[in-house]
Amino acid sequence: MSSMVRIGGDAVNVLLNAVTTTATGSALHLKGKSRVFQATLSNTTTPTATVVVEGSIDSDATTWVTLGTITLSGALDSDGFGSEAPWPYVRGRVTAISGTSAAVTLKSNH
């Protein structure tokens, strides 16, 4: 579920890509300590979604802690947060989503 693209000198990682159901993304290994997480909701009728961003220090990425929760409501809604904590592994998890054809994308930079 995750991929990376480079915009200028910054890497942008797609942690969740147009997810339409509750789902947990793959663990992604990030280097560096400063990063931003941004979730965006698709353009549909009255969509809502809750996305949890999690971090882990385990090399097998089996134990997770919540870094933040992003709540989205309305077509094309977008929100996010920044983190200075150097969690080496991160992932996104959609815990709730509703609305006709609603889809949520979560990205991070590093």
**Residues in the chain with pLDDT < 50?**
2, 4-8
Helix (H) or strand (E) holding 35: strand 35-41
Query: Phi and psi at residue 54, in whole multiples of 5°?
Result: -120, 155
Distances in Å between the alpha carbon of 70 and those of 31, 37, 59, 77, 96? 23, 9, 26, 11, 11
CATH code of 18's domain: 2.60.120.1110
Query: 47 is in which domain, residue-wise?
Result: 3-109
pTM: 0.87
Q: What is the pLDDT of residues 88-100, one digit of tens each?
A: 999 999 999 999 8
pLDDT at 4: 46
pLDDT at 10: 66
As for how many domains the chain has, the answer is 1
